[in-house]
Amino acid sequence: MLASAEAAGADWRLVYGGRTAASMAFAAELRAAHGDRVSLHPQDEHGPLDLDRLLGTPPENGPPADTLVYCCGPGGLLDEVHRRTAHWPAGRAARRALHPGTLRGAARGPGL
């Protein structure tokens, strides 16, 4: 996904949250490849992702005209992102649930 955004010339950033830094797959590779565009937020060091700061507080928040949000993660995170973006224009927020075994046998690596 990041490779596609780069190829399209998009101005993007990745906010990567995880329980611990050690549990965050490809964190070092992502930072090495993309520098400050990648923000790492291990929960044990920084607490949960600050969705108020990242997405605003409904119903007042709204994206700048060119904002797209792609979110993957556990159900609680997806539900909260959906709650905060449900009134955004269609197609501005996409979510994908992660479940144990989701990556089994899948191609893995930064830029996917």
Closest to 74 measured CA to CA, from 52, 46, 104, 43: 43
Closest CA to 54 of 34, 31, 77, 23: 77
pTM, full prediction: 0.76
C-alpha 102/C-alpha 100 separation (Å) is: 6
Per-residue pLDDT tens over the stretch 70-81: 898 888 888 888
Tell whether the model's pLDDT for residue 67 goes beyond 90: no
Most confident of 50-54, 63-67, 108-112: 50-54
- What's the confidence (pLDDT) of residue 104? 43
Dihedral over alpha carbons 4, 6, 7, 10 (to 10 degrees)? 100
